[in-house]
Amino acid sequence: MVEREPTVWPHVLPMMSFLLLIEIGGRISDDDSFGMLAVRVVVPLALLVFFWWRGDYPELRFRVTGMTVADAALGTILAAAWIGPFLLFPALRPTIGDSAFDPAMAGQSLIPLVLSLRMLGYAVVTPWMEELFMRSFVMRFADTYADGGDFQDVPIARFTWHSFAVVMVVFLATHLMWEWPVMFVWSLITMLWFYYRKDIFALIVVHAFTNGAILIAAIFFSDSFPAGDGTMLPLWFLV
């Protein structure tokens, strides 16, 4: 393999492309929503696969061990912890209205396709992209920014108060304000788990099972819980 100078782009570009596409999607008509959903999945996924194929993620090893079951279990528990407060405390629920995810955006006949695409993006692309950006890049870059060092020289999951605080703040900053209470708890627990596991793939699994379980709950249990106003609560605002 040809040696290349260290660069931040493999860790940053998939996330930046995703955020840019969200911004673009917010400025186009609802008629193009399915197309934008597909683009938001395909573009970051293509970048991740390309950079991984080039060997730009040496810290990432796709390996399944006995502890992977614990990673998956933790992710599922955290999904319940994410959903629960919104069921128990109506004041925490956002006013989303028509901006909530619509599985029928491309018509009733294509709901399975839309949900499959959403699952691919939400439970595969997002965890892979965010964990490489947040806990591989941001976390290590926070400890090297001042002295101009290479973030890749910092060991994975090395604890410093500075990097811990930066990651927690960035996690909150990249989510909506109504998500902050559950996001804070999720971020704190997963950071502690990361220090214990010291494995990017382990956190991708945790993240994937959290997101996947939330989407499954929205698919199968929307309108199963009282909203408090005489109606039933759809869970699509969570995804």
Could you report the per-residue pLDDT of 152-165, keeping only the tens digit for each? 999 999 999 999 99
Flag whether pLDDT at 2 surpasses 50.
no
| Spatial separation of the C-alpha atoms in residues 114 and 164, rounded to whole Å | 36
pLDDT at 201: 98
232: helix, coil or strand?
strand
Residue 164, judged by CB atoms within 10 A of its CB (0-12, 13-18, 19+), counts as middle
pLDDT of residue 100: 78
Residue 29: what pLDDT?
Answer: 65
The predicted pLDDT at position 1 comes to 42
Burial of 53 (0-12, 13-18, 19+ CB in 10 A): exposed
**Position 135 confidence tier, pLDDT thresholds 50, 70, 90:** very high
**Residue 147: what pLDDT?**
87
Higher per-residue confidence, 146 vs 239: 239
On the question of pLDDT at 98 being above 60, the answer is no
Q: What is the dihedral of CA 174, 69, 192, 119, to 10 degrees?
A: 0
Mean pLDDT across the chain = 91
The pLDDT tens digits for 171-191 are 999 999 999 999 999 999 999
Work out the percent of the chain whose per-residue pLDDT is above 90: 74
At residue 231, does pLDDT exceed 90?
no
The H helix count followed by the E strand count for the chain is: 9, 2
Tokens linked to 113 = 């396709």
Q: Assign 226 to helix, strand or coil.
A: strand
Among residues of the chain, what percentage have pLDDT more than 70? 92
Whether the predicted pLDDT of 86 surpasses 60: yes
Average pLDDT score over residue span 13-41: 87
Average pLDDT value for residue range 200-225: 94
The answer to whether residue 99 scores a pLDDT higher than 70 is no
pLDDT value for 13? 97
Helix 180-197 with 161-173: angle, nearest 10 deg? 140
Least confident residue range of 32-41, 121-130, 221-230: 221-230
Quote the DSSP letter at residue 225: E
